[in-house]
Structure 1
Amino acid sequence: MTEKWEYGYVYFVSTQSDEQRRLRNHPDRNQRALEYGLAAVVVDGTSIQSQAVPGKVGLLNDLGSKGWQVENGLNLGGSLPNWLREAVQSAVADAYPGGAIEHYMRRRRPR
């Protein structure tokens, strides 16, 4: 009997608040450290879920506990599709999505 798999993606997207974006153009920007946030968007066969995350490890552990095997990521840079931008902005208030990493994931389906 062949194995059956379910497939999906997880996107990690860097974000910046409006205040931080203004600091980017400030005259003494080299004296200030810019802060970035992180949002995650999980796309599986049934849903698209987005959330702010403090880092990647916690979410990757959660996905692993649900049987997902997450592969190495592909850097999408700053050219994000509109649906991904909207997913991030719906989860993180005052967020401007920046670059993103797309990870392919799969898990065995129950027989």
Structure 2
Amino acid sequence: MDLTGKWKYKEDYGYGVAEGELFLKQEGDELSGRIIFTDKLNDDEAYMLQEFLIGSLEGHKVKLDAEEFDIIHSEHEIDYELDSWFGVLVDDDTIVGLSKDGQGIEGKFTFAREKN
């Protein structure tokens, strides 16, 4: 199983919804990449950022951790905590699981592989 490629990302974390794209590279069981997404808190303006990731694939378990982030666009100042994703490969093109950020806020996410 090679997870290298582009994936659609959607997450609901109770306070809002994040949507974007995940770009993964796999070498052996090691994963790296970046995720670019728009985050829309319930009552606030949406903002866009990217996080740079490292992770691993163990069997059908996928773990990704953000190491740093860049704000791409925001109309207001944001205080952002890095994310971690813990998922399961349910088929060759879908990863589902839970995320958690540095503040302890959890969400449910889906990564769906984009076809070329």
- Confirm or deny a common fold (TM above 0.5): no
TM tier relative to shorter chain: 0.3 to 0.5
* Higher percent of residues as strand: 2
TM-score by length of 2: 0.33
Which of 1 and 2 has greater Rg? 1
TM-score by length of 1: 0.34
